[in-house]
Amino acid sequence: MEALKKSTVFKGPQGPVVLVIMDGVGIGKYEEGDFVRAAETPNLDWLIKNGVSTQLQAHGTAVGLPSDEDMGNSEVGHNAIGCGRVFHQGAALVSEAIASGAMFTGQTWKELIGNVKANGSAIHFIGLFSDGNVHSHLDHLKAMLRQAKAEGVKTARIHPLIDGRDVPPTSALEYVEPFEVFLAGLNACGAVDYAIASGGGRMNITMDRYNANWDMVKRGWDTHVKGEGRMFSSMKQAIKTFRDEKPGILDQDLPPFVIERNGKPVGRIVDGDSVVFFNFRGDRALEITKAFEADNLKEFNRGPKLKVKYAGMMQYDGDLGIPRSYLVTPPAINRTMGEYLAASGVHQLAISETQKYGHVTYFFNGNRADKFNEVLEDYVEIKSDVCPFEDAPRMKAVEITDAVVKAIESGKYQFIRLNYPNGDMVGHTGVFSAVKIAVEAVDECLGRLKTAVEKAKGIMVVSADHGNADDMYEHDKTGAVKRGKDGQPQAKTAHSLNPVPAIVYDPSGSSKARLSSAKGLGISSLAGTCLKLLGFVPPADYTPSIVDVG
């Protein structure tokens, strides 16, 4: 890796360039349900008015997703921000591999199918059960089931993780009922037995991330693998029962369930089976993958390692080689901003709390867990609280800010990147009062960072990876708010399709920053922007900076 070329028009500020990622804070389309607009945000408002500001796209094709109907997410968002370019991402890669047939001619698929045919065993599919296209897509699952049948696999079991987060919060039956029809069609010939075996809400079982709550993974393991838990005759019955017992429960929080036949679990996972975790996004796939692959697991009492053929939809961590087998190769992201800065001798700090720590490190670095330079880079994780986010909506914003202010004052770092998770993680809860507090907490911290940057004669770049808190109500096609039977607005817990703010604040004015003439930019432009402000010439193939300098 070659060092970056120094700019001849601006050598960089006296203090650091601080990139602030306000996770889930977008620019709302509708006033009703925009809890960024509803919150008291004097510091963000001031920065937009007095800094150099614009809007950036943070979803769809701007971040490598198949279409502009696809919402952005933190993983692809941080990939784009960190690498300064747009790569085809998970959903698009998987869809292409299925359409071309490459998935089914690859070695991993052949081994999965060959294993169950040789053993007369079952193939299991575990993953997020929706078309949200953020972690998974039901079309991918259906394609694999069709192919398994075509290749003579007699028994398949599906373990759905109910969404309600990347899709409407109580939409589960809209997916279950058509899927049951789909399975009935596969089974109609009488030659195969394909059935739903177990499941539960995505925030209750299996899909923990960043080692925050291994109890979720244990509940998933006990449900999917051991077939332990409350039994029902169908997934539909389970959902309806849980809703009757706890009115207002969101899909993401639904308890685990096991499907039974004649009083016994229909689909325990046993030695000799094949297992596919069909999420393509990595952060919530790593822990369940470890439960299947680790020889000795210390996080919970798993029991002996299963003798199964396990594969992920994609490789979730390229550096650590997790999982060992995967169906679709992830994008090869190289020459990231962090790598360039390390090659150029720049001291860097990456910091967030647990919920987004991996985003400012692993994803920002192009799906790389290791540092590029141990001497020049410091990574700091502030441990997240293990509690519902609506109960502590300020999260660890203050602690993150304390650490960043200290880092700015130290004079050690030329580039600091941080993520405030509040707007996203609390936005996913659908608890409006908590979302407002979350946004206001971030704004308070922006004020403290602004003061520190001013004193250090640095530059602050403020943006987001996608929207969420800016679009908390469901709207119909006319823009009217959808309301429940009680007349209250229906909560929207998914990410928005809205643009995000992008602000450059240079209190000393040394950069002479002004909006560039580039149009239609997305968040991948933030890398080039930061490099320019650091006094470098961005690589020629990076998305153009939002500002000109000098």
Residues 6+ apart with CB under 8 A from 280: 90, 91, 93, 94, 135, 136, 140, 313, 314, 328
Q: In terms of DSSP H, where are the helices of 367-431?
A: 397-410, 422-425
- Measured CA to CA, the distance from residue 447 to residue 129 in angstroms comes to 41
Residues 6+ apart with CB under 8 A from 503: 47, 48, 51, 52, 53, 460, 461, 462, 463
Please answer whether residues 368 and 362 qualify as being in contact, where contact means their C-beta atoms are separated by less than 8 angstroms.
yes
Residue 284: CB atoms within 10 A of its CB come to 24
Instruction: Catalytic residue, from 7, 53, 74, 524: name it.
Output: 74
Structure tokens at 188: 């109609």
Q: How many residues does the chain have?
A: 550
- Measured CA to CA, the distance from residue 18 to residue 39 in angstroms comes to 24
- Parallel, antiparallel, or unpaired: how do β-strands 547-548 and 264-265 relate? unpaired
- Measured CA to CA, the distance from residue 403 to residue 410 in angstroms comes to 11
- Parallel, antiparallel, or unpaired: how do β-strands 122-129 and 274-277 relate? parallel
Residues 6+ apart with CB under 8 A from 320: 369
Q: Would you call 330 helix, strand, or coil by DSSP?
A: coil
Handedness of CA 314, 316, 317, 323 (dihedral sign): negative
Please answer whether residues 124 and 159 qualify as being in contact, where contact means their C-beta atoms are separated by less than 8 angstroms.
yes
- Measured CA to CA, the distance from residue 395 to residue 392 in angstroms comes to 6
Give, for 160, the enclosing helix (H) or strand (E). strand 155-162
Handedness of CA 232, 237, 241, 243 (dihedral sign): positive
Q: In terms of DSSP H, where are the helices of 164-303?
A: 172-187, 214-224, 235-245, 286-293
- Is residue 352 annotated as a catalytic residue, yes or no? no
- Measured CA to CA, the distance from residue 488 to residue 121 in angstroms comes to 49
Q: In terms of DSSP H, where are the helices of 415-512?
A: 422-425, 432-456
CA 139 to chain centre: 20
Query: Which of 523, 515, 506, 460 lies closest to 20, judged by CA?
Result: 460
Query: Catalytic residue numbers?
Result: 74
